[in-house]
Structure 1
Amino acid sequence: MAMTLRLTPEQDRALTLLAEAQGSSKHEAAVRAIVSAATRLLNDAAVAELAREVIPGHSALESRIRRARG
């Protein structure tokens, strides 16, 4: 599926630097960044869910941490 990505000049520069660091195109760098972010988010969610199931009181602790973060 095609998609247009509109970036600020700063975001485009960051994507260019990312692509250069990876030795890839900006398209590939953007795709990798999306997949990486989704993987981290989903892994974090899976770990949090497991902790809620396994560690007594984890939900209360998690709630206090979230409130403290603001």
Structure 2
Amino acid sequence: MTLRLTPEQDRALTLLAGAQGSSKHEAAVRAIVAAANRLLADDAVAQLARDVIPGHADLESRIRRARG
């Protein structure tokens, strides 16, 4: 797989790798895993809230708008 980045994205990745003391490849892999973990954790929490909290849909909608 090839990752094509704009010069600005490459600079950001270079800075991230430098801050982590890693290669750009490892920094990209870590960023992907971290993003997936956040997304999956958010989905798990949202599903739990739907199951447990009555009227969660309205609350979830308000939270999403506030994040917006």
- What TM-score, normalized to structure 2? 0.89
User: Where does residue 45 of structure 1 map in the other structure?
Assistant: 43
Matched, 1:26 2:24: yes
Report the secondary structure of 1:5's partner residue: coil
Cα RMSD of the aligned pairs, angstroms, is 1.5
Q: Which runs of 5+ in 2 are unaligned?
A: none
CA distance in 1, matches of 2:26, 2:49: 34
Alignment of 1:1-70 (within 5 A): 3-66=1-64
CA offsets 1:28-53 (integer angstroms, 9 cap, x no match): 00000000000000000000000010
- What TM-score, normalized to structure 1? 0.87
Q: Which runs of 5+ in 1 are unaligned?
A: none
For these two proteins, the number of residue pairs brought into alignment is 68
Identity %: 87
Residue type of the alignment partner of 2:29: V
**CA 1:23–1:37 in structure 2 vs 1: closer, same or farther (change >3 Å)?**
same
Question: After the TM superposition, which segments of 4 or more aligned residues of structure 1 sit over 4 Å from their partners?
Answer: 67-70
CA distance in 1, matches of 2:67, 2:18: 34
